[in-house]
Amino acid sequence: MPKEIERKYLVDLKQWEKLGELPGQYYRQGYLVTDPQKTIRVRLTETKGFLTVKGISVGATRAEYEYEIPVNEAKELLDKFSVSELSKIRYNIVFQNKTWEVDEFLGDNKGLFVAEIELSSEDEIFELPDWVDKEVTREEKYYNSNLTVNPYKEWGL
């Protein structure tokens, strides 16, 4: 069974801004199923579409199946079958030979930046960049699927 081992962190925006202008990729992401036990997601970039099925998270690990699909089918699935949706810009940054994916959320989640790192094991040791802040791996409110139904702007921070 394919597995994703991922840790999530908030981004320190003052440190992040020091990196300057970075190239990012726009993502439109919608959910066909948002159940605590599983999610089925459709993701659309400017050039690709993906269908992803994820299982329940246990620690930082969960089952993940991801398949590239035609762009027109991804758009159609989002337009006709998505029950909730978000958009974001993703930045890929290599730090100490590890790729960090930093999501700048848009729309109702504007102002939220989350950094993710995929690991080969839950106990893998890695160094944190100075723009990484508090770990939120196990905080469900930061799951993308939850951000579609309980957006950042509603948190009353």
Catalytic residue IDs: 31
Ramachandran sector of residue 116 (left: φ over 0; alpha: ψ -120 to 50; beta: rest): beta
Query: Mapping DSSP to helix (H, G, I), strand (E, B) and coil, where does residue 5 land?
Result: strand
Element (H, E) at 147: helix 144-147
Determine whether 43 is exposed, middle or buried from the number of CB atoms within 10 Å of its CB (0-12, 13-18, 19+). buried
Give the number of other Cβ atoms within 10 Å of residue 44's Cβ.
Answer: 23
DSSP state of 101: E
The contacts of residue 157 (CB under 8 Å, 6+ apart) are none
